[in-house]
A and B are shown apart, each in its own frame.
Chain A
Amino acid sequence: MNMWIAQCKAEITRMLRNKYFVFWSLFMPILFYYIFTRVVNTGVADQEAWQAHYLMSMTTFSVMGSSIMSLGIRLVQERTQGWTLYMRITPLSHTAYFFAKMASQTLIHLFSILVIFVAGILLNGVSLTVGVWIMSASWILVASTPFLALGTLVGTMKRVDTASGVSNVIYMVLAVCGGMWMPVEVFPDLMQRIVKWLPSYNFGNGAWEIAAGHVPAGNSIFILIGYSIIFMLVSNYIRRKQEVV
C-alpha cells in the first residue's frame, strides 16, 4: 500500500511539473473562459446561464485534454524510454502501477475542476447551489472514463511524436465538434445530428444539463459507456498483440 501511495505521489508531482499540462489543462481553459464570457459579446439573452454553461464547457475541455493527451503521451514516453520494462522487474505489480496512474489522473482532474470552478466564481461570480457544484464535478470526474480509455489507446502508439500529433488532432476535433468551444446550436442541422453521437458532446452535455438544473440524459450515459467499452477493448487488444513479440 505504501508503495502504491508513493507511486501516486510521484505521478501527481510529474503531472504538475509538466508545462503542457499546466498550459493546456489550466491556463487555456481559463483564458478561453475569460474571452468568451467577458471580452467577446456572444449576445446571449441569459448571461448568467451562459456563464455557468461555458464554465462547464471549459472544465470538460480541460479534463478531456489531460485524459487523452497527458495520459496517452506519457504512456508512450515511458515505454519508448524503457521505463515500463524496468517497472516489470520491480515488485510493484502492473495492476498497481496502472491503478496508481488512473487514481493520480483522477486526483489531477479534481484539482483542475476546482481551479477552473474557482476561476469562474472569481471572474464572473458564477453562483450555483452546492448540490449542482458537487453533481457537476462528480459527473466530470466519472464521465471522463471514455477519454481515459482513449488515452490508453493513444498510449499504445510506437512513437512520442505520432502520439502527440494524433492526440492533439483528436482532442481539438472532439472539443470543437462536441460543442465545447461554441454551442452545437450554431452548427448546421445535419452536423448537429452527427455530433450528438460524439463522446465529447455527451460528456459536455451531462455537465450542461446539471448546470441548468436538470440531470444528464440517459442517452449521454449510454453513449459514454459504449465508447468506454470500445476504447478499452481496442486498447487491450493492441496491447496484447504488442506483448506477443
Chain B
Amino acid sequence: MNEVVSLKHVSKSFKNEKAVADVSFSIQAGEIVAILGPNGAGKTTTILMMLGLMEPETGFSTLFGNDPKSKKVREKIGAMLQEVSVMDGLTCREILTLVRSYYPNPLPVNELINLTGLEEKDLKKRAEKLSGGQKRRLNFALALAGDPDLLFFDEPTVGMDISARKSFWDTVRLLRERGKTIIFTTHYLQEADDVAERIIMFHKGRIVADGRPDVLKSKLARQTVSFVAENRMPLDEFWKLPNVRDVYRLGDRIYVLSDDSDRVLEALFQNKWNIRNIQTEQGKLEEAFDHLTQTGKREVV
C-alpha cells in the first residue's frame, strides 16, 4: 500500500458555518481522483487543507505520510490553484527558470512547453502581458516545473476554451501514464466522468459518494425500465416487483425505477403481463449527481 494523501476527520468552518465537516479519505499512488461537487461544497477548502495552506480545526491531513508544509513534501508536489495569477515584471521564461530552481529535479523548459502548449514566442513575453489562456498555461507549467509526483488542480479548466480544455486533459492523461497521482476539483460532471478513475462527491462539506465512476453510476443512478401496458393495469402491481424505487405513468408508458433492472425484467417476463415495447435505460451520472445534491427536491413527473 502506498498512501499518498491521507485526511482523517478533517473539519473547517468559516464564521460559524461548516465548510468541511468530518471528512476522511485517502488516495493511493497513481490514482487520478476528481473531487466533484457544486459551488460551495467545500472542494477548495479541502484542497487547501491537503496542501497545508489552511489549518483544519479538527483532524489532520498528511501528504506522503508527512506534514504538507515540510520541504520534503513540497519538492514532490505541484498545484494549480484558483485566483493565483503570475508574478509580474518577469518574462515567462524567467519565471519558469526561477521556479525550476526551487526543485531538485526540475523538468527541462522545452518539455514544459510541450506539455502545456506554451509557445516559444510566449516565453519572451512579460507575464503580465499574457492573455488569460496563456496565463493558465504558465500556471500549469509552474505546477509541473518540479516534475512532481502528486498534482493538485483546483477547477483547472475554468476560463479555458474547448481546445485548451482538451489539450489540458490530454496532458493530464499523459501524466497519469507516467505514474503521477492527480487530484482535481470540478463542478463539471462530464470532466470527472471522462478523466477520473475515482470520484469523491462533496455536498455541503461532506462526502456523499466515493468510488469509480461506473460503480457510482450503477449504485447511484437508478435504472429505468419502461413499457406500454395493454390494459390499464393499476400501478400498485408494479410496486411488488423486486428492488423497485419508484413507479409512474407518463403518456401511455409506465416507468419502473429500480436498483437492478435485470431482476425487474426477469419478474416482468415471469408475470406474463400483457406488456410490450420494453425499454431499459441506464441513469446518467448527471441524474445521480442532481439526486445526491438536491435531496428533498425530488422531481415530480
- From B77, B89, B95, B146, name the one whose CB has the most chain A CB atoms within 10 angstroms: B89
Contact B88 A93 (CB under 8 A): no
Given contacts A86-B142, A88-B53, is CB(A13)–CB(B90) below 8 Å?
yes
B94 at the interface (CB under 8 A from A): yes
Binding site for B on A (CB under 8 A): 2-3, 6-7, 10, 13-15, 17-18, 77-78, 81-83, 85-86, 88-93
B189 at the interface (CB under 8 A from A): no
Q: Which one, B52, B83, B97, B102, contacts A90 given CB within 8 A?
A: B102
Binding site for A on B (CB under 8 A): 51-53, 71, 74-75, 77-79, 81, 83-90, 94-95, 97-99, 101-103, 142, 146
Q: Show 30 residue pairs from A and B whose CB-CB distance is below 8 angstroms, ordered by the A residue.
A: A3-B101, A7-B98, A10-B87, A13-B94, A14-B87, A14-B88, A15-B89, A18-B89, A81-B84, A81-B85, A81-B87, A82-B81, A82-B83, A82-B84, A82-B85, A83-B85, A85-B53, A86-B79, A88-B52, A88-B53, A89-B52, A89-B53, A89-B77, A89-B78, A90-B74, A90-B102, A90-B146, A91-B74, A91-B75, A91-B103
Q: A17 to B89: give the CA distance in the assembly, Å.
A: 7
Q: A77 to B99: give the CA distance in the assembly, Å.
A: 19
CB of A27 to closest CB in B, whole Å: 18
Q: A3 to B86: give the CA distance in the assembly, Å.
A: 18
CB of A218 to closest CB in B, whole Å: 40
Q: In the complex, what residue of chain A is closest to B54 when comparing beta carbons? A: A245
Other A-B contacts than A6-B101, A81-B86, A90-B146, 6 sampled, CB-CB below 8 A, are A2-B101, A13-B89, A82-B83, A83-B85, A90-B99, A93-B71
Q: In the complex, what residue of chain B is closest to A80 when comparing beta carbons? A: B85
Contact A91 B84 (CB under 8 A): no
Q: In the complex, what residue of chain B is closest to A2 when comparing beta carbons? A: B101
CB of A93 to closest CB in B, whole Å: 7
Q: Which one, B53, B71, B79, B90, contacts A10 given CB within 8 A?
A: B90
Q: A62 to B145: give the CA distance in the assembly, Å.
A: 38
Contact B94 A10 (CB under 8 A): yes
Q: In the complex, what residue of chain B is closest to A245 when comparing beta carbons? A: B14
Q: Which one, B71, B86, B87, B97, contacts A6 given CB within 8 A?
A: B97
Q: A4 to B83: give the CA distance in the assembly, Å.
A: 26
CB of A129 to closest CB in B, whole Å: 39
Which residues of chain A come closer than 8 Å to B52, judged between CB atoms?
88-89
- A-B interface, 7 closest residue pairs, ranked by CB to CB distance from nearest: A14-B89, A82-B84, A81-B85, A6-B101, A91-B74, A3-B101, A10-B98
Which residues of chain A come closer than 8 Å to B95, judged between CB atoms?
10
Q: In the complex, what residue of chain A is closest to B15 when comparing beta carbons? A: A245
Contact B87 A78 (CB under 8 A): yes
Q: In the complex, what residue of chain A is closest to B139 when comparing beta carbons? A: A86
Which residues of chain B come closer than 8 Å to A91, judged between CB atoms?
71, 74-75, 102-103, 146
CB of B143 to closest CB in A, whole Å: 9
Which residues of chain B come closer than 8 Å to A93, judged between CB atoms?
71
Contact B84 A86 (CB under 8 A): yes
CB of A214 to closest CB in B, whole Å: 41
Given contacts A17-B89, A91-B74, A91-B75, is CB(A86)–CB(B103) below 8 Å?
no
Which residues of chain B come closer than 8 Å to A88, judged between CB atoms?
52-53
Q: A81 to B86: give the CA distance in the assembly, Å.
A: 7
Given contacts A14-B90, A82-B85, is CB(A89)–CB(B79) below 8 Å?
yes
Which residues of chain A come closer than 8 Å to B98, judged between CB atoms?
6-7, 10
Q: A192 to B282: give the CA distance in the assembly, Å.
A: 86
Which residues of chain A come closer than 8 Å to B87, judged between CB atoms?
10, 14, 78, 81, 83
Contact A83 B97 (CB under 8 A): no
Q: Which one, A10, A15, A18, A85, contacts B81 given CB within 8 A?
A: A85
Which residues of chain A come closer than 8 Å to B102, judged between CB atoms?
3, 90-92
Q: A204 to B180: give the CA distance in the assembly, Å.
A: 57
Which residues of chain A come closer than 8 Å to B99, judged between CB atoms?
90
CB of A240 to closest CB in B, whole Å: 13
CB of A85 to closest CB in B, whole Å: 6
Contact B71 A85 (CB under 8 A): no
CB of A4 to closest CB in B, whole Å: 9
Which residues of chain A come closer than 8 Å to B78, judged between CB atoms?
89
Q: A18 to B78: give the CA distance in the assembly, Å.
A: 29
Which residues of chain B come closer than 8 Å to A85, judged between CB atoms?
53, 81, 84
Which residues of chain B come closer than 8 Å to A6, judged between CB atoms?
97-98, 101
Which residues of chain A come closer than 8 Å to B88, judged between CB atoms?
14, 77, 81
CB of B106 to closest CB in A, whole Å: 11
Q: A88 to B74: give the CA distance in the assembly, Å.
A: 9
- From A6, A17, A86, name the one whose CB has the most chain B CB atoms within 10 angstroms: A86
